[in-house]
């Protein structure tokens, strides 16, 4: 069968490999770090840096299609890979999701609502930016932030300078604080033929900037649910996207605000492994391999809980509860803030 090349060997790459294997496909992981979680299940691993052209070339020519589990692939590496094999999702999706300023501008251009934002390149921009977004606000680095890293809250003018210093004056964006009632995300998939399938929105709770739980069904009204799905369709269509995308929203009484998009399988979509017949990982592999998409409708209500750092101490108790489906990533050392696994707790047959 065909071989799927996956850039990145973390837990997402691992679960993509498992899904590919179930479809009779092989996977080849490209990962700079040693002992990647995906390495335990993939058919092949290349351990090399993104500036190693020979390794990139050998990787690309050994696979039929290339996908990725993270959005920060260096441009030069992407140029080389793209010249050798199709990269799905495409480059545009990476372009719009690697940089928060470009991302927000793109989303706004589609007519979607985003938080008020302003570019900040140094201390001299801050006052004007705060004027335009209002306070409280959040200063975020434009690139490379995840799990709430590279962000600082700004309540009053005094915090601003400290926030910028904390980020070493990296090019940033200031976002007005959105007073949302809750957060949801939509995991959407688009096939090579343009078909779009969306999983039901999940309701997300973050703790210390890291996703803690996702619950389905989310407490959205029917119009809010429709708005979330319509926004997702619009984004995937505009990008001529192929694969799975995670789209995060803030929910307010008067509508949904798009927070950010991730051009890949997404932590808030892990519930689909036990809530749907076809989960986000299989859907993504189907899409990038050019297969028809599967049926992503939800058969069960689920609470997904991330197991982060010392949460792993609760493993014996979690394993003793027969309603818990456990997914562990095989990471050897437990570190604070490190995603070690997740548990999908089935709460009943699908309702709502």
Structure tokens at 295: 């049926």
291 binds, among Mg ion, ligand ATP, none (CB under 5 to 8 A by kind): none
115 binds, among Mg ion, ligand ATP, none (CB under 5 to 8 A by kind): ligand ATP
Name the site residues for ligand ATP (rule: CB under 6 A).
115, 138, 145-149, 175, 177-178, 183, 206, 209, 248, 259-260
Task: Using DSSP, state whether 170 is helix, strand or coil.
Answer: coil
Residue 150, annotated as binding a ligand? yes
Shorter beta-carbon distance to ligand ATP: residue 144 or 313: 144
Residue 329, annotated as binding a ligand? no
CB 84 to ligand ATP: min, Å: 29
Q: Answer whether the bond into residue 97 is a cis peptide, omega within 30°.
A: no
Task: Using DSSP, state whether 52 is helix, strand or coil.
Answer: coil
Residues 6+ away with beta carbon under 8 Å from 221: none
Angstrom distance (rounded) from CA 26 to CA 21: 6
User: CB under 5 A: which stretch of 3-11, 259-267, 283-291, 340-348 binds Mg ion?
Assistant: 259-267
Strand residues in 60-113 grouped as ranges (E): 65-68
Shorter beta-carbon distance to ligand ATP: residue 22 or 206: 206
Residue 234, annotated as binding a ligand? no
DSSP secondary structure letters along 33-46: SSS-GGGGTSSEEE
Site string for Mg ion, 260-299 (x = CB under 5 A): x---------------------------------------
Max Cα-Cα span within the chain: 60
Structure tokens at 292: 């028809």
Shorter beta-carbon distance to Mg ion: residue 153 or 299: 153
Angstrom distance (rounded) from CA 144 to CA 173: 13
CB 255 to ligand ATP: min, Å: 15
Q: Answer whether the bond into residue 263 is a cis peptide, omega within 30°.
A: no
Which residues of this protein are in contact with Mg ion, per CB under 5 A?
A: 248, 260
List, as residue ranges, the binding site: 100, 140, 145-151, 175-178, 183, 206, 259-260
Annotated binding residues for ATP, written as ranges, equal: 100, 140, 145-151, 175-178, 183, 206, 259-260
């Amino acid at each position: 069968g065909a071989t799927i090349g996956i850039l990145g060997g973390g837990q997402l790459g691992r679960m993509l490999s498992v899904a590919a294997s179930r479809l009779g496909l092989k996977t080849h992981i490209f990962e700079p770090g040693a002992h990647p979680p995906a390495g335990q299940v993939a058919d092949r691993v290349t351990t090399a840096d993104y500036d190693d052209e020979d390794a990139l070339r050998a990787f690309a020519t050994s696979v039929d299609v290339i996908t990725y589990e993270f959005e920060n692939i260096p441009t030069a590496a992407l140029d080389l890979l793209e010249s050798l094999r199709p990269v799905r999702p495409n480059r545009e999706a990476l372009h719009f999701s690697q940089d928060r300023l470009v991302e927000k501008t793109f989303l706004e251009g589609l007519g979607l609502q985003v938080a008020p934002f302003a570019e900040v390149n140094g201390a001299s921009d801050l006052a004007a930016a705060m004027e335009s977004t209002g306070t409280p606000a959040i200063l975020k680095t434009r690139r490379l932030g995840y799990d709430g890293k590279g962000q600082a809250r700004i309540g009053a003018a005094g915090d601003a300078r400290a926030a910028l210093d904390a980020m070493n004056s990296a090019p940033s964006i200031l976002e007005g604080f959105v007073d949302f009632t809750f957060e949801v995300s939509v995991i959407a998939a688009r096939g090579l033929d343009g078909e779009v399938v969306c999983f039901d929105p999940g309701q997300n709770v973050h703790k210390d900037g890291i996703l803690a739980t996702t619950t389905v069904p989310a407490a959205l009204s029917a119009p809010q649910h429709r708005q979330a799905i319509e926004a997702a369709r619009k984004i995937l269509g505009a990008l001529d996207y192929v694969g799975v995308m995670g789209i995060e929203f803030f929910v307010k009484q008067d509508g949904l605000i798009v927070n950010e998009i991730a051009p890949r399988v997404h932590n808030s979509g892990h519930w689909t492994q036990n809530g749907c017949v076809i989960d986000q990982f299989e859907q993504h592999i189907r899409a990038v391999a050019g297969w028809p998409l599967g049926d992503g409708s939800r058969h069960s209500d689920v609470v997904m809980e991330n197991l982060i750092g010392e949460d792993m101490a609760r493993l014996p108790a979690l394993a003793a509860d027969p309603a818990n489906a456990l997914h562990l990533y095989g990471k050897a050392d437990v570190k604070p803030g490190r995603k070690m696994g997740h548990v999908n707790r089935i709460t009943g047959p699908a309702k709502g």
